[in-house]
Structure formats: C-alpha cells, structure tokens
Amino acid sequence: MGIGQLPCSRHLAWPLLGTCAFTLLATAALMAHVLQRDFTVVPREWSGLSRGPEEANQARIRGPQHAPESHSRPGPVPTQCDVPPNSRFDCAPEAAITQEQCEARGCCYIPAQHGLQGPRMGQPWCFFPPSYPSYRLENLTATQMGYTATLTRATPTFFPKDILTLRLEVLMETESRLHFTIKDPANKRYEVPLETPPVHGQTLAPLYSVEFSQEPFGVVVRRKLDGRVLLNTTVAPLFFTDQFLQLSTTLPTPYVVGLAEHLSPLMLSTNWTKITLWNRDMAPEPGVNLYGSHPFYLVLEDGGSAHGVFLLNSNAMDVVLQPSPALSWRTTGGILDVYVFLGPEPKSVVQQYLAVVGYPSMPPYWGLGFHLCRWGYSSTAIVRQVVENMTRAGFPLDVQWNDLDYMDARRDFTFNKDGFEDFPAMVQELHQGGRHYVMLVDPAISSTGPAGSYRPYDEGLRRGVFIINATGQLLIGKVWPGASAFPDFTSPETQSWWQDMVAEFHSQVPFDGMWIDMNEPSNFVKGSEVGCPDNELENPPYVPGVAGGTLRAATICASSRQYLSTHYNLHNLYGLTEAIASHRALVMARGTRPFVISRSTFASHGRYAGHWTGDVWSSWEQLALSVPATLVFNLLGVPLVGADICGFLGNTSEELCVRWTQLGAFYPFMRNHNSLDSLPQEPYRFSATAQEAMREAFALRYALLPHLYTLFQRAHVSGETVARPLFLEFPQDPHTWTVDRQLLWGEALLITPVLEAGKTEVTGYLPAGTWYNLQTVPMDALGSLPPPYPTPLKSVIHSQGQWVTLPAPLDTINLHLRGGYIIPLQGPSLTTTESRKQPMALVVALSSSGEAQGELFWDDGESLGVLEHGAYTLVIFLAKNNTVVNKLVHVASEGAGLQLRKVTVLGVATAPQQVLSNGVPVSNFTYSPDTKILDIPVSLVMGEQFLISWS
C-alpha cells in the first residue's frame, strides 16, 4: 500500500492463481493475417522440411540465410563435435563424469585446453552435439492472444521423470512484452503465486517477431526494427523433467546486468559464470548465493537499445553465462514462465519489468533521513545517550533502531525488563523529539517455553500458522532464541496472526517500522533439530551451486510443507511473503505508510519493502561493491536500498568511515549499523576533522531530500529508478555501460565517491553534456549547509563524454548537476520533522541552449492514499529565455505554502543588468563572472505561480 493504488500494481494472490483462458481466433483469414505478420516457422533441417500443421503452412518460410542457427537433424550418437569451445553447452550439469559416461549420454567429450583446473571449471568437457534429441513442435495454432502448440520428446534425457509431452503458450501481450509458458498439460505443477497484469487481446503492433524451430524445438525472438535476435532457444536442447528444467538462449552482447543477489560488479561476467539463486544467510562474498533471488536480466545491445528477460520461477536455480555469449536457465521445479521486454531504451525495459511485478511503494518521508543502529545497545539508557550524543555533535538523526538487545530471551514481540524496562517511554521520547523508531523482528518464533508462557507461540500453535515437516509434525529449527518454529506466511491465517501480534506489541511499544531479518529463512541447524528425510526434495537429481552443497544448508528442510506448496518450491518467497505480512500489519497497526526493511527478497519485493545488503565487512572492497549492489536493486524495483555505512563486520578505520558516510549519504536508504564484536562507529566517535567531513555529507543529503522524495514518487507511479547506473541515462555511450563506481540520482545528479584508501582525487566518467560542480554553489541562504569549497574549483565541465580527474580531499564528495535540470533544496535540520519546515531553494542548471526543467512532489510525508485523495502538491519548474517559471500541476494544502527563498542559476553567460521576481526588481542579486552563477534572493510560495527573469 503506497500513496496511491496504481492500475499496474501487482500483488501475490492466495491461493495459487491459475492462468487465464484464451479462445481461438474465429476465422482462418484473421489467423493467416496474424501469422504472416509476426510469426515464422524456422525448420532446423532446411533441405528436408517436413510439413508442419496447417496453420504453420500459412506463414512465410524463411530460407537458411535467416536461420539463427543451422544444424543437422538430431541423431542417436554424437557425430558433430566440432562445436566452438565458447558455444558448448554442458551435457553433465549435475556432476563431473567420465568420457565413457558422457558418450553413453550421446554427448561429445573433449577435455579443455591446458591451464584449466578441471572439468567443472571453464568450458564443459562433456557437451551436447547439435544433433542431440530435444522436443518437436506440433499442432501450432493461432489464438486470440498469440499461439499454442504441443511439444513432444521421443527420447528421454539422462535426468529422471521426463515429461515427454508439453504445452507451449505464446502470448503477445503488449507491443513491448512477449510472454510464453511451457507446462505439463496433464498434471498441474507449482507456479509462482504472483498476480500478473490481465491481458485481454493480442497487441496489434509488436516491436518483435516470433519464430519457431520445429525439430528440435526452439523459440526465436527478434527486434523488428533491425532484425536483431534477442532470444534464441534453439542453441541447446530443452530439458523438462520433474526436477530439472533447462532453457538456453543466445545473447546479442555480453553486457548483462541483474540476476541478483550477489557480490559482484554491475556487469556480470559471461566467462563461464554460474549464478545461483537460492536465498541464503551468508555474509556477502563473491561467487556465492546471497539473501535474495531475482531471475531477471537486462542486456545492453549495440547502438544503445536493450531488452530484458524474466523467468517467473522461484525454485532453486543456476543461471550459466558463457562467452559465445549465451545463457542457460537451470531450475529444479515449477514451469518455464518467460517474459521478454523489448524496451527499446534500458529505462523502458525496467519499467516494463516493473509493470509485471509491481511498482515500488512510496516510503514515508522520515524513512529517507538518517538511521542509526548497533547490535550492542543493551539498554534504553545507552540508546538515549546515543541520541543525545548525535544531537550534541550536530548530526541529523531521524530513526533510532535496536537489534536483538531489546528482546526478552531474544524472542519476538517481547522486551526485557533489565535494560529496557522503560522501553515504551523511550520510544515516546523519540517521537517527542521528532524522531522515529524501528526494531528488529525475526520470523522464527521460540518454541521452548512452557505452554501459556509465550503468546506468539501459543497462539500460533492454536491457529496452525507454523511450517510442518514431511510427516506432518511441527518443524523445529534453531535461531537466536534457541528452538524455534517458522511461520508460514503463504497462509492467510498466518498473515492474520502476524497482524495480531504486531498490533498487540504496538499497543505496548509504539514503534514506527519493522526490520525483518533472518528471513531466508535462516536456521542454525541443517533443516531441523532432527534433520531432514532422505527423499527427492531434499536430494534432487540436480543441486544448484548453493553454498553448503545442499538445499537445507543454513535453512529449513526443502520437504517441509506450507499452505501453498512445499518449501522446495516456496523457499525463495519466504522473505517476500513475510514482507507482505509486515507491510499489511503496519498499515493495520499505525494507519500510515508502512516502513519495512528486509534482508531476503524476491521479484516484486519493492512493492512492499526496502532492503539492506546484509552483513558486509568494513573493507574498501565492500565499500566499492556497495555501489553496484545499490544500482542493481534499483533496476529490480527495490529503490529503498543501502549498505550498512562503515560496514557491519570487523572494525572500520576513520578514513573508511568518512568515505563510506559520504557515499552512504547517497544511498536511497541511509543507515549506519554494526556488529556486537566490532568497535562502535557512530559519527561522533571520530576526530573533529572526520566529524566535520561527515557533517557536510549529512547536510548535503538533508538539503537534497525534497529532490530524493520526488524521485521516489516517480518510481512509485511510473516505475522509474531512484539511484541509477549511468547507462540508464546514456545508453548510446558505450563508455557508460560498465561504470559502477559512480551513480546518478534520477536524471540530474551525478555522484563520484572516493572508494580507495589514501586518495585525495578521484577519476570519474562524465557523459556528454554540461556538468556543474555543486560544491561551488553558494547555499548560505539555507542555513547550515557546508560553505563553498575553500580552494578554486572548476565550476562547470563541458564534457564530450570523457574521464575526468577531480579533487577529492577527505571532506569532499564530488557532486555534479547536469545541465538542463532544476532541483529543489531545503534547509537541513537534525530531523526531517524540522527540515520539512525550512525554506527552500531552486538550483537551475542551464543547458547549452539556456533551458532547464525539474519538479517537486510534496505531501504530508506519511499518509496513505494521497494520490486518490488529491492531498499532494506537484510543481514543475521550467527555465527558458532568461526566465524561470513554475507550473502548478496540482496544489493542495500540503506543500502549497512552502517558502521559496532563493533561486541559483548556473551557466548565466553574461552579467544581468536587471532581475525581476513577479515583475518586481530584485536589487540584491549577485553574479559571479568567474563561476557564471546568478544568485537571486526571493520571497515566493511554491503553490503560487511565479516568474523570475533576468536581462
């Protein structure tokens, strides 16, 4: 529930949703028209084309020169093993096998060249020949939405329980979205319970064409504009067994992003990389599966176009990238449910993906302030002292948090009577100071106390809300409180119970948000206290590359049972379903916009909650990798994201903490948090020099909060990103594609942080355009903002698209405002409660043609349904021909009276002789011929039309 309920918003639906029914087209003439326009059968054996179904014969058959791949008809033994090494698809995905075993499968065996460490490294030694048997396409039929067909396999694979007959359904849903599913027509299989957009008819003008290979079966998707192949599944055989499904495709370029969550650069390596999706409690390190699973990727194409692919599947999976370039999905259950997004711009791909999984929710304004936490705040007295220390040192603090320390015996919905006896009073004091409070809540519920001693467990047991094992008994694992049961958040009764527990605790302690941790779910024993049974779900024929080697490692038994299905199918949804339950519980308990931060995530998570990147180390490497982590979650529709500032594990250094605070001021979610075993790292712990550098970063963030809030509103209503990679704005500049040590806020603000020790300058890429250095902008009218930079700085860079070395002493983070944009600023304070009352300013960054535009969204910062109720103000700012005007899109009491006290115009070429504000001369304007900055003091109101001009 955000500030507005959008028609494109999606939600999980309980119980499991079925697919829509589609009717056949009424006439053969219309069928032929559709087929001829958007569909071609591409046979694999061109010289001996066998007749397909009658409908297929109406389509134009293309010759071999148009074929994405041309191979001979499958045969029983490998006769064609001269496949280029980078184009070899692994015929032994489950284990290393011998040459004899490989050839018994009908596959080719060629050991890799010297230098590789074994058959599991690099290119596969055992690989499919082009003739390897796959499915055959039959009974192709046009429908109201696209096509259906039957897929049949004559030869079983080397995995057990082949499903030899499949149903293909192709849905041409929108001009930029193609959707196809491959299912077992005879038996209902698990499908992800995500409600997707209803579609009532086939699009008439798709950006894509669809082709099919008959034998072996494959789907080929092309971009109509240039004929580029975006998806080609003919390159390797389709596998569809009970517990192993594989679909491979070519990629048009090796520039792939997505497939989170992993500790990696933004661009994924296609050099034989295996990416595992199985949510895991794991301190981030390269090459392992982490807390979230997002089976979506975006590919940048030559020329700046892009496309995306989403496999709607929540089972444990590997995604294999290889240098040809190509990609293989290997999942352990469910169905193949594939969406292809045509863009063509990268930002359009993101919006099209979010139109399926849901746009992000709108956070409360206070949620964008600074959050402070530490595992080890062991009493209310310590928390009060921390808040007082922050205030004395002049650091903003909006939200105080507590880790496990507040709980009684580490049990949810309790507080201990030793250090936290006056816990409710402490939270009330935070509220009186204009602050908010968030606490840790873990999903595991202690099961150890005597009956009647712990209401959440007693009530949960009575209402049947906990996950059970394969034989129907309560599954008991071990987490922080000891022996624990795990709520099944896919059950409506569990969601109701969770709402009750949240409401009851909120009536004692008026907390404002929930921090849901350990929700992969994490378990300190493998599976359960009594282990797991030896069955196909616990020991599937294919185990993806999960840390720990088994699906039960650090979590509960895969064979345990939940309301909707087995945990084998639902594991990756656990954090998402808890986030949904917590989101709804907070709405019920507080009646305002919910604030939830979760560790575990899945596709659509941003609609309900934000995310922090988990137990990162206090290291320069993890500081740098937090930039791509922040960027990729924005591409996945989770814009409220950030890493623990200064690191969670280990001890930070002063320099690292300063640089991390400077970057963290530009995480959409800004929190400093660290571990019980680490040295404290609150900002006031450091030297006066370090503190002053941190204060400047805080002041910049708080001054920019109106702009940040406006970006979140655009994400909420339009599916835009908040923090975004450079390639999203400049896709036609290939130099931006791999940049992941800088980030943009929206379209206009470029952040270039220092990410290495001992550096006093930093090199960043400035795409073509005019870039103004915000450090040179005088902001004294806004009160406590940092003073202008003491040494001469280049106030503007006219870039042709180039790398630039920028001065970056310890007190500086480089911010550049893009010419052509206007951003609102507001005087910073120690809380957003106070900063929202401060006067505002506009910074107008003129383009080379003297124009600029921007906007401001404002509401009360926390109410639900403000869009529906019209309780908001939206103002657009325009600069052109030496004037700045505002356009009132919508004005309400909230925001109408915001005071505008200053307009700073960057890039004014010559000194103005006169400045007018609503026709009245402004006598005290200032102009610098060196920096080309015009400063105009004004006394205006945002909710009333104004016109400022200079001549």
d(CA 528, CA 506): 31
Q: Residue holding tokens 């941190």? A: 694
d(CA 251, CA 587): 43
CB 52 within 8 A of CB 41: yes
* β 336-341/436-441 pair status: unpaired
Establish how many alpha carbons lie within 13 A of residue 659's alpha carbon, considering only the half-sphere containing its beta carbon. Answer: 28
488 annotated active-site: no
Of 522, 734, 732, 729, residue with least CA distance to 635: 729
Strands (E), 266-424: 273-277, 292-293, 296-300, 306-311, 317-322, 326-331, 336-341, 370-372, 399-402
CB 375 within 8 A of CB 404: yes
CB 591 within 8 A of CB 599: no
Of the candidates 211, 337, 442, 520, the residue annotated as catalytic is 520
CA distances from 221 to 43, 172, 179, 208 (A): 15, 11, 11, 7
d(CA 241, CA 157): 8
CB 334 within 8 A of CB 16: no
CB 651 within 8 A of CB 679: yes
Rounded to the nearest 5°, which phi and psi values hold at 915? -130, 130
Strands (E), 403-494: 436-441, 445-446, 476-479, 482-485
Of 150, 131, 299, residue with least CA distance to 223: 299
Of 625, 35, 712, 86, residue with least CA distance to 363: 712
d(CA 370, CA 672): 8
* β 769-773/814-818 pair status: antiparallel
CB 153 within 8 A of CB 241: no
Two structure tokens written together for 45: 């054996």
d(CA 71, CA 234): 10
Two structure tokens written together for 439: 């606490």
In terms of Cβ atoms closer than 10 Å to its own Cβ (0-12, 13-18, 19+), residue 69 is middle
d(CA 914, CA 891): 31
d(CA 894, CA 940): 16
* Coil vs helix vs strand at 446: strand
Radius of gyration, alpha carbons of the chain: 29
d(CA 35, CA 507): 62
d(CA 489, CA 818): 45
What type of residue is 119? Answer: P
Q: What is the distance between the terminal CA atoms of the chain, rounded to a whole angstrom?
A: 48
Q: Residue holding tokens 């001693």? A: 453
Of the candidates 211, 281, 403, 517, the residue annotated as catalytic is 517
CB 873 within 8 A of CB 895: yes
d(CA 447, CA 465): 13
Rounded to the nearest 5°, which phi and psi values hold at 42? -110, 105
d(CA 602, CA 574): 9
Q: What is the DSSP string of 739-751?
A: --S-EEETTTEEE
517 annotated active-site: yes
* Coil vs helix vs strand at 157: coil
d(CA 137, CA 44): 11
Query: Which residues are annotated as catalytic?
Result: 517, 520
